[in-house]
Amino acid sequence: MPVSCSAHACTNRRQRDGNIHFFSFPLKNAERNQLWINAVGRKGFIPTKNSAICSSHYVASDFKINPGGNYRLHLNDTAVPSVFSVIAGVVGAQKPQYEIWGNTVNVASRMDSCGIMGRIQVTEDTAKILMAAGYDCECRGPTYVKRKGTLTTYFVRTQYDQKSK
Ligand SMILES: [Zn+2]
């Protein structure tokens, strides 16, 4: 049976000998299933047993073994899809404005709305990328993020941290 990815704007389909793997929604685990639904961020979306998310929406640490081989990939029990593309377009006829949409935009907005004045809050995935690039990040710990549940977030350390205290 053909399986296409449930992520918004993703056109990946299951192919014979394809490098893309598909993961069914964790329907039997309501709490985890809800995290996946929130991550996908599609209004009114209810997954069925045929709904799946393709491997391009997970980070390396979500997999039990590294992706890339021809073997069956397995996700960690706590894995939640987190990599989604941004959709861009122009809205408005009178005063056209360039806009972007997508889960990435929603999460960035939540990082702002539940942050602390004068500090830069980022998700764990972003912190990992920043730390690998030499930035100093401080773990804030589990932080409640509206419609996303509890996420581990980080503050990026900057030269202005001391001055604001
Ligand atoms: Zn996909």
Q: Tell me, in angstroms, the distance from the centre of ligand 1 to residue 6's CA.
A: 7
Q: Tell me, in angstroms, the distance from the centre of ligand 1 to residue 143's CA.
A: 27
| Average pLDDT score over the chain | 86
Q: What does 38-65 look like in DSSP terms, one character per residue? A: HHH--TT----TT-EEEGGGS-GGGBSS
Q: Indicate the pTM of the whole model.
A: 0.62
* 19 pLDDT higher than 80: no
Q: Tell me, in angstroms, the distance from the centre of ligand 1 to residue 150's CA.
A: 24
DSSP 3: -
How much is the pLDDT for 70? 57
